[in-house]
A and B are shown apart, each in its own frame.
Chain A
Amino acid sequence: MANAQPSRTQTKLEPWRDPNEKPYVRIEKVTKKFGDFTAVDDVSLSIYRGEFFSLLGGSGSGKTTLLRMLAGFERPTEGKIFIDGVDMSNVPPYERPVNMMFQSYALFPHMSVEANIAFGLHQDKVGKAEIAERVADALNLVQLGQFGKRKPHQLSGGQRQRVALARALVKRPKLLLLDEPLGALDKKLREQTQFELVNIQEKVGITFVVVTHDQEEAMTMSSRIAVMNRGYIAQIGTPTEIYEYPNSRFTAEFIGSVNMFHGRVLESEPDHSLIRSDEANCDLYVSHPGHLAPGTECWVAVRPEKVTITKDAPAGSDGRNQATGVVKEIAYLGDVSIYEILLDTGKRVRVTAPMVTRRTEMPITWEDRVYLSWRPFAGSVLTN
């Protein structure tokens, strides 16, 4: 499965980098309050035509609320939403060029699969022959050709999910909103469907905005991801950007696992910074951190797979980006192993290493003293 994953950032254009490109959806300083509770907090976003945009965040972070404002089911308390340049403030859901695929699928239980899919077309007063043709196309697109006459409750979960997708797609909306489209599927089916969803999106060329709380899913499918936390947007970027260059402790910790070293800036040059960390008991040398005033409190985030673990001191070391400790836990995951190391300073560090060690070498085991080291560009400096 892993090699089948499409790598979007390389094959797609990146319209958000082009200053002349007009965003297709523009969310401007949108805030949504339920009573005193702020569910969406001053969110601004631009989504471009043809994107597969993910809203990623923990439970209750306001993803669904933001999506529902795009669909028109909730009105922003403050701020505006533009779709294709048109202010959506007073446009009711049934007049928006947007369709939504609901988390619960919301298939009409009293209508057949075909009638469900045709529902939206009927509202647009599309001719009979055309409806039949488009419904058939949509069913084929989601590979449900022979299920048209069934009622939703006669379908399995995965089939229902595809009917919901077909129903939302058949109107050829300019923008498709998907709320946890794969949330109700089991893990295996979900992985399979992720891939399918991306293929369908590429085929129909519709802009997708997908809500998910599964970071792997977001990383696999998206052109860009907006990470949400307690109603605000913590970071927007391509999956790589978000993974490699998190801009805050929240994103770094939310996406994948990370080791966080607390410290203070010693010196900051245009191309690197030097940070003194008591937790790592060494100076941390980080490339391209941006300018930081000396003395600033900061954290250096290092992904577990970027750390090299050795039993001997690394050759030619200058003592930077290097720590020593004792192996406390080892978990073999087949292709990789996870080590948890207790540093001499008392901090626990997690390291993943591929299983390339040959049998002949002495493997690292519990209570071994080990050296950890990483390259200058492995870490990123976070100040909040």
Chain B
Amino acid sequence: MPKSWFLRFGLITGLLFLYIPIILLIVLSFNDNRSVSVWSEFSFRWYGELMRDDQLLSAAWLSVRVAFISASFAVVLGTLAGMMLARFGAFKGRALFSGMVSAPLVMPEVIMGLSLLLLFVSMEQVLGWPEGRGMLTIILAHITFTMSFVTVVVQSRLVSMDASLEEAAMDLGARPAKVFFVITLPLIAPAIVSGWLLAFTLSLDDLVITSFVSGPGSTTLPQIVFSSVRLGLSPKVNALATIVVTIVAIGIICAGIYNARQEKARQRDEQMAQQGG
């Protein structure tokens, strides 16, 4: 904790601001009362209703599938793009490429959504593919906007990684493809994993772009949530939020523990190196 009072106050205010809404959501999800913000009694009622809501469950299942597939493709494309930006030096059209990679990071979603929709419509006219709008178009759109995030994560890992490791492998006789799979990939694996998780989360959470490119038969979880909260409070959403927060918290805590372990091992190794030297 920082020493200065002012900083301590600022930190606590900021964190409270970030967490109070989430904590309230969780608390109220156990509230039996329909008018969410007035407490009546503790119950799991809304969790039960959530589980019986077939429309919501099937939307959730669709969202998970879409997120899984998009994240997996986005990781491949994003890793390649990260490699290009971090390792290929100057290639033809580099400026355009890095522009196209970083623009989606900040591009308002309504613009991305509209433009992708118009693309899909035009493509269907010209090529007859993709037929209509549905899971496929959602996946294509999600790959496009999540790959930028993967690229940034992978690129910054590559930039901080000593390029002479790859050169050394090449110098010892490994061809570029082999260098990538035996040296680069294992070393950037943590970045790739976090890139995948990031892409997965972003895809799972996306409402605006999805709304543009989805069809009548494909409604994702955020779309269901949006239509139910648009009119005000919905206790089932609180229950859903609690589940999401729990999963994320468990994941992040596990990652934190794993990192702490790694750190301890590293310190032990360093001691060993000093004694051994």
Direct contact of A and B (CB under 8 A): yes
Which A residues are closer than 8 A to B by beta carbons? 71-73, 92-96, 98-100, 102-104, 106, 108-110, 119-120, 123-124, 147, 150-151, 153-159, 167-168, 171
Check if B276 sits within 8 Å of A106, measured CB to CB: no
Residue numbers in A under 8 Å from B272 (CB-CB) = 150, 154
Count of B residues near A, CB < 8 Å? 25
CB closest chain-A residue, reference B173: A123
Check if B269 sits within 8 Å of A154, measured CB to CB: yes
Check if B172 sits within 8 Å of A153, measured CB to CB: no
Check if A104 sits within 8 Å of B162, measured CB to CB: yes
Residue numbers in B under 8 Å from A123 (CB-CB) = 172-174, 178
Most chain A C-beta atoms within 10 Å of own C-beta, residue among B162, B171, B187, B276 = B171
Check if B170 sits within 8 Å of A106, measured CB to CB: no
In the complex, whether B167 has a CB less than 8 A from a CB of chain A is yes
A117 shortest CB reach to chain B, Å = 10
Question: A98 to B176, alpha carbons, bound, how many Å?
Answer: 17
In the complex, whether B273 has a CB less than 8 A from a CB of chain A is yes
Most chain B C-beta atoms within 10 Å of own C-beta, residue among A94, A95, A124, A156 = A94
6 A-B contact pairs sorted by A residue (CB < 8 Å): A71-B167, A99-B172, A100-B168, A106-B162, A150-B276, A155-B276
Q: Which of B169, B269, B274 contacts A151 (CB 8 A)?
A: B269
A310 shortest CB reach to chain B, Å = 50
Question: A168 to B169, alpha carbons, bound, how many Å?
Answer: 10
Check if A106 sits within 8 Å of B168, measured CB to CB: yes
Check if B165 sits within 8 Å of A106, measured CB to CB: yes
Kindly identify, within residues 149 to 167 of chain B, every residue whose CB is under 8 Å from any CB belonging to chain A.
Answer: 162, 164-165, 167
B184 shortest CB reach to chain A, Å = 11
Question: A100 to B178, alpha carbons, bound, how many Å?
Answer: 18
In the complex, whether B256 has a CB less than 8 A from a CB of chain A is no
Check if B172 sits within 8 Å of A120, measured CB to CB: yes
Question: A110 to B183, alpha carbons, bound, how many Å?
Answer: 8
> Could you mark each residue 128-155 of chain B with 1 if its beta carbon is under 8 Å from any beta carbon of chain A, else 0?
0000000000000000000000000000
> Could you mark each residue 254-276 of chain B with 1 if its beta carbon is under 8 Å from any beta carbon of chain A, else 0?
00000000000010011011101
In the complex, whether B175 has a CB less than 8 A from a CB of chain A is yes
> Could you mark each residue 95-108 of chain B with 1 if its beta carbon is under 8 Å from any beta carbon of chain A, else 0?
00000000000000
User: Knowing A106-B162, A106-B165, A153-B270 touch, does A93 contact B276 (C-beta < 8 A)?
Assistant: no
Residue numbers in B under 8 Å from A151 (CB-CB) = 269
Residue numbers in A under 8 Å from B178 (CB-CB) = 123
Check if A94 sits within 8 Å of B174, measured CB to CB: yes
Question: A123 to B177, alpha carbons, bound, how many Å?
Answer: 12
Q: Which of A95, A96, A102, A110 contacts B168 (CB 8 A)?
A: A102
Residue numbers in A under 8 Å from B170 (CB-CB) = 73, 92-94
User: Knowing A94-B175, A99-B172, A120-B172 touch, does A110 contact B277 (C-beta < 8 A)?
Assistant: no
User: Knowing A124-B173, A167-B172 touch, does A106 contact B167 (C-beta < 8 A)?
Assistant: yes
Residue numbers in B under 8 Å from A93 (CB-CB) = 167, 170-171
In the complex, whether B186 has a CB less than 8 A from a CB of chain A is yes
Residue numbers in A under 8 Å from B186 (CB-CB) = 110
Question: A147 to B277, alpha carbons, bound, how many Å?
Answer: 11
Residue numbers in B under 8 Å from A120 (CB-CB) = 172-173
Check if A153 sits within 8 Å of B266, measured CB to CB: yes
CB closest chain-B residue, reference A123: B173
Residue numbers in A under 8 Å from B176 (CB-CB) = 94
Most chain A C-beta atoms within 10 Å of own C-beta, residue among B165, B168, B272 = B168
Check if B171 sits within 8 Å of A108, measured CB to CB: no
Q: Which of B164, B167, B173, B187 contacts A171 (CB 8 A)?
A: B173
Question: A290 to B170, alpha carbons, bound, how many Å?
Answer: 48
Check if B273 sits within 8 Å of A119, measured CB to CB: no
Besides A104-B162, A168-B171, 5 new A-B residue pairs in contact (Cβ under 8 A), listed by A number: A71-B167, A94-B174, A94-B175, A95-B173, A159-B276
Residue numbers in A under 8 Å from B183 (CB-CB) = 108
Check if B269 sits within 8 Å of A102, measured CB to CB: no
Q: Which 5 A-B pairs have the closest CB atoms?
A: A156-B277, A123-B173, A120-B172, A106-B168, A106-B164
Check if B269 sits within 8 Å of A94, measured CB to CB: no
> Could you mark each residue 179-218 of chain B with 1 if its beta carbon is under 8 Å from any beta carbon of chain A, else 0?
0000100110000000000000000000000000000000
Q: Which of A94, A102, A109, A154 contacts B273 (CB 8 A)?
A: A154
Residue numbers in B under 8 Å from A156 (CB-CB) = 273-274, 276-277
Check if A94 sits within 8 Å of B171, measured CB to CB: yes
A377 shortest CB reach to chain B, Å = 46
Question: A94 to B166, alpha carbons, bound, how many Å?
Answer: 11
CB closest chain-A residue, reference B175: A94
Question: A150 to B274, alpha carbons, bound, how many Å?
Answer: 13
Question: A92 to B171, alpha carbons, bound, how many Å?
Answer: 9
Question: A99 to B171, alpha carbons, bound, how many Å?
Answer: 6
Check if B187 sits within 8 Å of A109, measured CB to CB: yes
CB closest chain-A residue, reference B161: A109
Check if A119 sits within 8 Å of B172, measured CB to CB: yes
Kindly identify, within residues 222 to 277 of chain B, every residue whose CB is under 8 Å from any CB belonging to chain A.
Answer: 266, 269-270, 272-274, 276-277
Question: A332 to B202, alpha carbons, bound, how many Å?
Answer: 70
Residue numbers in B under 8 Å from A119 (CB-CB) = 169, 172, 174
Q: Which of B162, B165, B269 contacts A153 (CB 8 A)?
A: B269
Residue numbers in A under 8 Å from B277 (CB-CB) = 155-159
Residue numbers in A under 8 Å from B168 (CB-CB) = 100, 102, 106, 108, 167
Question: A123 to B183, alpha carbons, bound, how many Å?
Answer: 13
Question: A133 to B1, alpha carbons, bound, how many Å?
Answer: 54
